[in-house]
Homo-oligomer: A and B are copies of this chain.
Amino acid sequence: MTYPIQTATGQTDRYPSRIGSEPSVLERQDPIVYGRAEDGPLDSARLTLYEKEGFLSLESFFSTDEIQAYLDELARLRDSRSECRAPEAIIEPDSGELRSIFAIHKHNAVLRRLCMHPRLVAIARQLLGGPVYIHQSRINYKSGFRGREFYWHSDFETWHVEDGLPAMRTLSCSVSLTPNTEHNGPLMVIPGSHRKYVACVGETPEAHYVASLRRQEYGVPDEDSLGRLVAEGGIVAPKGSAGSVTFFDCNLMHGSNSNITPLPRSNVFIVFNSVDNRPQAPFCGLPPRPPFIAEREDFRPVGD
């Protein structure tokens, strides 16, 4: 495949996916770290690590007391029938339990504080080289006993194809509300995979996001490419106590196994996007996903 390509709607697509019948692996076209060590708060060693591996884990970023307030809010949400029936709530396909609630930075005063926390925003601004807004936020419950796996994926592949983010100038921040152990289905990443773009096969069905948030079927990377990425970079599962934070690049391949332990693996997930990387029309040519999954209107920088 040669790229960039021109889409049917006249867009220039530097990261085409879901258009061929064979998977392919393209080189990343964008920087990884946009800011400088002088901008702080991350020093140059940490910036270099993020650049190389595609993620950065910071232990004890939040105190136990701060985390407890967010956990209490999660418990309240989980037990609230009205919250679980909201369109922003995603339910586990088998058990009917709460899996995620989206757009928590808009609808929940307690969790908004966390999503816009100045210490998180400062790191996002440094890595992305300027003002950022929240493209997506959610709380993942990942219950004990019946927590389902999340298969390998690059977030950017979906955000590009389905939401229209043009460039890799976006990152995720995962805040652990419970301990991440080797047993309770922790986030697993493939270091270095953010430098390659795995173009997936198939097409994007209309309004498939309702099912895909529960169980992924489109934008799934092929096994050969995954095998090669793991052979090169290995697999790392950042572990730590509640209050640890992991920043990772939008194109880093990641996933998690199921969780049969009694220990939930709950986290808050915030996606910061550069204000200079506003979404265009989705590159798949379909209508965009709803705003609780992908912001399209409010690009006001957070932290200003």
Which residues of chain A have a CB within 8 Å of any CB of chain B?
144-145, 149, 151-152, 181-183, 185, 188, 223, 226-227, 230, 235, 237, 255-263
Contacts and interface: CB of A to CB of B under 8 A. Distances in A.
Contacts of A257: 149, 183, 185, 257-260
A185 B257 CA distance: 8
A227 B183 CA distance: 14
A31 to B, nearest CB: 29
A262 B181 CA distance: 21
A235 to B, nearest CB: 5
Given A182-B237, A183-B188, A262 B151 contact: no
Contacts of A260: 149, 151-152, 188, 255-257
Contacts of A263: 230
21 contacts: A144-B223, A145-B223, A145-B226, A149-B258, A149-B260, A151-B260, A152-B260, A181-B235, A182-B182, A183-B188, A183-B237, A185-B257, A188-B260, A188-B261, A223-B262, A230-B261, A230-B263, A235-B261, A255-B260, A257-B258, A258-B258
Contacts of A258: 149, 257-258
Nearest to A236: B183
Main DSSP-derived SS at the A contact region? loop
Nearest to A183: B235
Nearest to A262: B227
A190 to B, nearest CB: 10
A151 B262 CA distance: 11
Nearest to A185: B257
Nearest to A147: B257
A237 B237 CA distance: 15
A227 B223 CA distance: 36
Q: Which 8 residue pairs are nearest across A and B when measured between Cβ atoms?
A: A182-B182, A258-B258, A227-B262, A257-B257, A149-B258, A257-B258, A183-B235, A230-B262
A258 B263 CA distance: 16
A256 B182 CA distance: 12
